Structure 1
């Protein structure tokens, strides 16, 4: 999928959240059972979107690192 803002190719992955620990995006091919820190997310090529959150969710999403835009399927 191309970014609607800049036209660059977006990366496919998943949006997730950890209770009390933030919102993040991971590439589709990355599988992590326990995400306990920002370092682990980044080690798995993820992007921390929000540092603190109190809900859990997981939806597929595309991210454009250049524009810092995320498109989420729900």
Structure 2
């Protein structure tokens, strides 16, 4: 997928949360610290969810898809 901001190729992975938010190539059972090639986006947020997400490491954008999650708009 091409990045809508800079048109560079984006990488498919997962936006995963635990005590931090990390973009990962595969889902980890426990999200502690990012591994080589992964990107820590936030520290001390939600508890244990993951979303399919594309990352653009050129312009630092992340696109996520939550269409498979059962969320209600409030």
Residue correspondences, number:
66
Highest CA radius of gyration, 1 or 2? 2
TM-score w.r.t. length of structure 2: 0.77
Q: Which runs of 5+ in 1 are unaligned?
A: none
Gaps of 5+ in 2: 67-74
* Greater RCO, 1 or 2 (C-alpha within 8 Å, sep 6+): 1
Pair 1:33 & 2:29 matched: yes
Higher relative helix content: 1
**Two-structure CA RMSD over aligned residues (Å):** 1.5
| TM-score scaled by length of structure 1 | 0.77
Runs of 4+ in 1 over 3 A off after TM superposition: none
